[in-house]
Amino acid sequence: MLPRRSERLVLKPEDVQPSTANFKVIGVFNPGAVRLGNEIVLLARVSEQPSEHRPDVTGLPRLGSDGAVVVDWLANDNLDRSDSRVVRRKDDGLQRLTSISHLRVFRSHDGKPEHFTVGPKFLPQSSYEEYGVEDPRITRLDGKYWITYVAVSRFGAATALASTVDFVTFERHGLIFYPDNKDVVLFPHKVQGKYVSLHRPSPSSRFSRPQIWLAYSADLMHWGNHEPIYAGSEGWESDRVGAGAPPIAIDEGWLEIYHGSRQATRAGEVGAYSAGALLLDRNDPTCLLRRSRGVIMQPSADFEKQGFVPSVVFPTALIDAGDLLHLYYGAADTCVGVVQFSRHELLEALQ
C-alpha cells in the first residue's frame, strides 16, 4: 500500500442541501474532478432518501412521469432489506434502490474543504434515469469536458454521456452503453485516430473473474472492438473490478487507477472496496505493461471505514500535479476525500 502524502475530507452530507422537499442527503461522493482555470471543479453524486418514516413500510424514491420525484411505499414483509443500498421484492425478485441520486457542481480556488461553493444541479430527466444519475467521470476532449455517468432505471444500470464547457450548462447525448454496464471512463487523447474508453460489463452469469474491458469509437457515441484487458486476480478484487479515474498520459504509458471489491462473507454485506493501478501501452492500450503489487489504497481513515456503506474507497478522478498525483474518491458511499501520492512511489509500486 502506498504512503499517503496527504489526506483530506473534502465534502460530507451536511455540506449539501437536499434538492427535494421532505428528503435528506445521505451521501455526497464519487466525484469527477478537473482543473478549470484557477479552480478545482467537482461534479459529485448526491444521494437522497425520504426524510419521512412510516411503520412497516419502506419509501423508495423514483422520478415520476411529470419530472418530479415521487416515493413508492412498499410493505416491509415483502422486502429483503439486508442490503442498505437496495431492496429486493420477495414476490418477483426485482430490486429497487433505497435512494435517488443527482449530480451537483462544487468549485474551489484551492481545493480546501472550507472553500468549496455549491453550483448547478444535474438532475435525472429521462425514463432511463428513473432511479437516478450516479458516479460521473470527466475527461477533457476536443475543447469540451465530457462526462460519463450511470443512468439507473427499471431497465438496469446503463452509461450515458453529457458535455459542458463551463459546468454551468450541460448538453445530454443519451445512452452509450446499455445495461448493465458501468465505470465507463474516456481516455483524454485519441489512439490511432479513435476515441478510447474503459468499461465494466456486469453479466449475471459468472463464467470468469470480474473484468475491465476496452472499446473504440469514431464519434464517442457508437462503441466497438470490445476487448477485455484485465481480470481481477487477487482476493481484494474478487467480487468486482472496474475503471476508477479516467487514465492520464505519462511518459511510461497510460496510468489507470482502478477499483476492486472483495467478495462478501455474509448476506447483505458489501465487500471492502480498495484501489489499484495499471499501466497500459500508449499506442496499444489493450496491452497491459505493469500493475500494482496489491492495493495502493484501502479504507483506513474513519470516514472511509464508517458510513452508509462501510469500508469503501472508490477512486473517480486523478489530477496530475507533477511530482504529486491528487486522487479524488468516494468514501463509504458518504463523503468525498482526496489523497496525494508521490508519482515516483506509485510507479515504483508497479510490476
Domain boundaries, the chain: 6-348
The pLDDT, as a whole number, for residue 112 is: 79
The residues that bridge with 129 in the sheet, in sequence order, are: none
Above 70 in pLDDT, residue 179?
Answer: yes
pLDDT of residue 131: 98
pTM to 2 decimals? 0.96
The percent of residues in the chain predicted with pLDDT above 90, rounded, is 91
Domain 6-348, CATH:
2.115.10.20
CB 328 within 8 Å of CB 23: no
Instruction: Kindly state the average pLDDT of the residues 192-216.
Output: 92
For the segment 200-207, the average pLDDT, to the nearest whole number, is 85
The tens digit of pLDDT for each residue in 315-339 reads 999 999 999 999 999 999 999 999 9
User: How confident is residue 111, by pLDDT bands cut at 50, 70 and 90?
Assistant: confident
pLDDT > 90? residue 266? no
User: Dihedral, CA atoms, 188, 190, 195, 201, nearest 10 degrees?
Assistant: -60
CA dihedral 122, 145, 32, 157 (to 10 degrees): 60
Q: What is the pLDDT of residue 233?
A: 86
